[in-house]
Amino acid sequence: MDITIHASFLPHHDPDASLAFYRDTLGFEVRKDVGYNGMHWITVGPADQPDVSIVLYPPGADPGITDDERRTITEMMAKGTYAIATLATHDLDATFERLQASGAEVVQEPTEQPYGIRDCAFRDPAGNLLRIDELR
């Protein structure tokens, strides 16, 4: 079986802030930028990994959820408890400094975890938790 990860989805509520964070702060390239009925989907990813993407999507886009569910999603996003992505880098300290200097919300400074990794954590403009592992 030949299966790879192609795309993961993270919600956003401000396409301009999300675009600035993922493109300008993380250095991801923009692969698609699509608007439809007042909503906005942005596909981004690392330039050296063209087959792996993150789709930043409007959480209210799914017609199968109720207004109450939309409100719950919005509340969870505001608290930073709705979505998580784990990224990785060879230079965690430099990555941490760049993100911190950008004004991104720091959740955890670089830390050696008892389960064998060193990582840090931030929130993107929508409140999504981004953990960044150090590759060794």
Task: Compute CA distances 49 → 39, 70, 98, 111, whole Å.
Answer: 27, 32, 21, 26
**Alpha-carbon torsion 24, 89, 74, 101, what sign?**
negative
What is the distance between the alpha carbons of residues 40 and 63, in angstroms, rounded to a whole number?
A: 15
Residue 136 confidence (pLDDT): 85
Structure tokens at 10: 């993270």
Residue 43 confidence (pLDDT): 97
Question: For the residues of 63-114, what is the DSSP string, one character each?
Answer: TTS-HHHHHHHHHHHHHT-S-EEEEEES-HHHHHHHHHHTTPEEEEEEEE-T
What is the distance between the alpha carbons of residues 126 and 12, in angstroms, rounded to a whole number?
A: 5
- Give the three-state DSSP class for 128: coil
**Which pLDDT tens digits describe the chain residue by residue (136 residues)?**
888 889 999 999 999 999 999 999 999 999 999 988 888 999 999 999 999 999 999 987 888 889 899 889 989 988 889 999 999 999 999 999 999 999 999 999 999 999 999 999 999 999 999 999 999 8
Residue 83 confidence (pLDDT): 93
Look up the pTM and report it: 0.89
